[in-house]
Structure 1
């Protein structure tokens, strides 16, 4: 019984780590998708997205998942704001 509980707890602790890595990869893919539809985005924003994606990929390669998520979230928010006209 104790082993089962420990195994379940270990799985629950590891889940957020995998979820964060997935969020980083998902956000990077979204940024790549926005790059593919570049005709709808202005040039200054497109450059910012490219720079953020490159920095996020570096952070991901270094194992800094939180930095990757932070950079990609900001870039995605900038895209959403530009589409809203803000």
Structure 2
């Protein structure tokens, strides 16, 4: 329960801390790079958390390709919070 609450707080803080006027595309690219680095550093493990992080990475990349930068940022942020 604590882990979920902390993850929610971190996601909220990350989304609120980003300036409204900043380009979402740059933030999406930055978050994706951070998440890719985290995924590459994860141990080879078939547990549910690792699979969820990889799913969020793939979904964030698909969102970026579709031009939905806000969804990309949200999913990459969620993946980062799970990876920590």
TM-score range, shorter chain: 0.5 to 0.7
- Counterpart CA distance in 2 for 1:53 and 1:77 is 12
Cα displacement (A) at 1:41: 7.4
Instruction: Choose between structure 1 and 2: higher helix proportion.
Output: 1
1:68 paired residue number? 72
Cα deviation 1:23-43 (Å, max 9, x = unaligned): 111111111111111129773
What is the Cα-based RMSD across aligned positions, in Å?
Answer: 2.0
Unaligned runs of 5+ in 1: 1-14, 81-86
Aligned residues: 64
Q: Does 1:25 align with 2:29?
A: yes
Runs (4+) of structure 1 exceeding 3 A deviation are: none
- Higher relative contact order structure (alpha carbons within 8 Å, sequence separation ≥ 6): 2
Matched, 1:36 2:40: yes
Segments of structure 2 that go 5 or more residues without pairing to the other structure are 1-20
